[in-house]
Amino acid sequence: MNILIALLIGFLYAVSVYLLLRRSIVKLVIGILFLSYATNLMLFFAGGLTETSPAFVVASEAQNVVMTSDSLPQALILTALVIGFGVAAFSMVLIYRFYKETGTVDLDDLSDIEKL
Amino acid sequence: MTLFLPILIPLVSIILLIACRHRLKCQQWLSISAVLAQLGTAFYIFFNLGESGHLVAQAGSWPAPYGITFVADYTSAILLIAVSLVSVAAIIYSIGFVDQVRQRGGLFVLFQGLLTGVYGSLLTGDIFNLYVWFEVMVISSFVLITLGAEKQQLRASVKYLVMNLIGSMLFVAAIGLLYSQLGTLNMADIAFKLRSEAIPPLVNSAIMLFFIAFGIKAAVFPFFFWLPASYPTPPIAITAFFGATLTKVGVYVMLRFYSLFAQLDTAFWQPVIFVVAGLTMVFGVLMAASSYDIRKILSFHIISQIGYMLMGIGLFSVIGLAGAIFFIVHNMFSKTATFMAGGLIYLYKGTYDLKKLGWVYKTKPFLAFLFLIPALSLAGIPPTPGFFGKFFLLYAGFEGAHWTITIVALVVSILTLFSMVKIWNEAMWKPEVESANLSVKSVRPAAWVGTVIAVVFTLLLGLTVGFTYDYFAQAGQQLIDPMNYIKAVLPDLIVK
């Protein structure tokens, strides 16, 4: 299972790098989204993969439980996801305004900026 | 409780600013009083650090390492004061400089949002919380850089957004790696675990990822190209504020992480930092020398000066670290003041292009004088703070026998003087060219007041260095021996 998850995260990173290197600004934003998915997944499994171990136990049953699962990464990923949504919304508005102003989605046209 | 005030004050002022968003005067006075209150709190924290030099607060009274810890030591308290001083000048300046549309469009709200993130990053003692503050800061800066939505701004902000997001994602990935290895997010707890147990190999990967993430944020050598592409595009008041806060917080975090984590592997990290620092200095200054736009020259100089701060981190002696912190403060003041004076030149002449400018010295001698002081400070002429900052760093470099980086720093310093002299010659002394074609905007007095304040801060920092050096040295001492920091955060710890 660990290997599968690791491969999945690696695949998501590969997809995001491929998309980030494309010239289209829309693909760039999708690449950013994939980058944040890959990272969030990695954060999610930072607590380790455990099966059938509870996250919370009642105090009276504490001595019967051998191992608990770590619930902190889930709290962390929740925060990261919310921030990610905000940033995704902003970047989509940005590319929309960018398209409206410049009439192109090709990043190569960005090089005009050097002639400031 | 006092440690939460620097974060609460801007947050509350954001709510008030949104409440009075239709009255511009009210917004302006509110933001000025908010930064003055922040300045007061910053001084209060600084003078209440106490015997050990640490002030610790646990959010929600959860004991460390389970809750989120806020810590102030001399480094963060000094930077807290510096940021709030600079924002007083920056906000007054932007009242005079930025157009009404942008001011009504939420400029002051975003300034306070950015400040919330900066103060949070300076005070937090928890790495995930640090990520959250960084995002608060960076998202405010995204909106600030696009505010007004001119074509150039939109183009530049795409680069800015992408690079900063990649940096943030690497940061989160590093947090995940570190947590999976050590099971804690509290900086002091991590530092303690690294010192008391065998270090798992993946921790080094996490620290490398941190270095790259903050390298992107601080614009060091291989990751700097987003900065000159994006900083010159928004109104220069916003650029001045960015230059004083964003990259400097990146350097601060590097300082903190080097002290707590990377210090344990100096044999690996010191050469890396020196190489990166040297290349950052050289590339920044060479690109500045080849530019002919005031905003671009000054933006490239930000990069070059980041190299000096990194050099101080790499030296890691009391004088070197004191020099690095002093250099951060000096740069906040001097750089902001030069940007502001450049903005005033733009208001009078209608352009930033050195080829079109001329005779500012003849027509506006006081403005030329206001530009000269921070420019000389950037170049490192006594008695300006730039001289003392470089003096501490070079002294520490020679003391530690790190010849290469010290000589590179000296050469770069001469090249910096060259590009400041270039601005001076072209803009101030050259006969005027075709000024009739340029549209001249009206100058509101607040822009002058803001610039004068920033220049006075620059001068004062240079003139009072005899009194303040002890505090900088104390900050350096605290960074070298982080055991007191760890003990202050985790008082119940049994040190073996």
CB A73, CB A46: distance < 8 Å: yes
Q: What is the mean pLDDT of residues B288-311?
A: 91
Q: What are the extents of the domains in chain B? A: 2-489
pLDDT at B24 over 60: yes
Task: Answer whether B74's CB lies under 8 Å from B475's CB.
Answer: yes
Given the structure tokens 């009206």, which residue do they identify? B442
Is A5 in the B-facing interface, judged by CB distances under 8 Å? no
How large is the average pLDDT for residues B407-415?
92
Element of type H or E holding B467: helix B465-480
pLDDT score of A105 more than 60? yes
Whether the pLDDT of residue A116 is over 50: the answer is no
Q: What pairs with residue B124 in β-bridges? A: B70
The pLDDT tens digits of the residues spanning B254-267 come to 999 999 998 888 88
- Which residue reads 């504490």 in tokens? A62
Mutate to test the interface with B, among A91, A99, A113 (most CBs of B within 10 A): A113
| Percentage of the residues of chain B whose pLDDT score is greater than 70 | 98
pLDDT, tens digit (0-9, with 9 covering 90-100), for B74-133: 999 999 999 999 999 999 999 999 888 888 888 999 999 999 999 999 999 999 999 999
Hunting for tokens 């003391």 — which residue is that? B399
- Which of B133, B137, B165 best probes binding to A when mutated, by most A CB atoms within 10 angstroms? B165
User: Model pTM?
Assistant: 0.94
Domain residue spans in chain A? Answer: 2-50+72-105
**Nearest residue in chain A measured CA to CA from B127:** A76
Q: What is the ipTM of this complex?
A: 0.90
Is the Cβ pair A101, B151 closer than 8 Å?
yes
Using a CB-CB distance cutoff of 8 angstroms, which residues of chain B are in contact with residue A101?
149, 151, 154
Mean pLDDT, chain B, whole residue set:
90
The two three-digit tokens of residue A13, written as one number: 């990173």
Segment B183-193, tens digit of pLDDT: 899 999 999 99
Q: Which residues contact B180 (CB under 8 A, 6 or more apart)?
A: A45, A46, A47, A48, B202
Q: How many CB atoms lie within 10 A of CB B491?
A: 10
State whether residue A101 sits within 8 Å of chain B by CB: yes
Does pLDDT of B333 surpass 60? yes
Are B123 and B5 spatial neighbours (Cβ–Cβ below 8 Å)? no
Contact pairs from chain A to chain B, CB under 8 Å: 99
Contact A98 B143 (CB under 8 A): no
Contacts of A94 in chain B (CB under 8 A): 142, 146, 154, 157-158, 161
Q: What is the mean pLDDT of residues A19-47?
A: 90
| Nearest partner of B331 among B221, B250, B225, judged by Cα | B250
Q: B25-50 b/e with 16+ CB inside 10 Å = b? A: eebbebbbebbebbbebbeebbeebe
Q: Which residue has the higher pLDDT, B367 or A58?
A: B367
- Give me the numbers of helices (H) and strands (E) for chain B, helices first please: 21, 2
DSSP B380: T
Of B131, B139, B229, the CB nearest to A87: B139
B179 touching chain A per CB within 8 A: yes
CATH architecture type of domain A2-50+72-105:
Orthogonal Bundle (1.10)
Helix, strand, coil abundance in chain B, percent, nearest 5:
80, 5, 20
> Which pLDDT score is estimated for B382?
85
What pLDDT shows up at residue B408? 93
> What is the rounded CA–CA span in Å between residue B325 and residue B321?
6
Residues pairing with A24 in the sheet:
A106
Q: Does A82 touch chain B (CB under 8 A)?
A: no
Question: For A92, which residue in chain B has the nearest alpha carbon?
Answer: B158
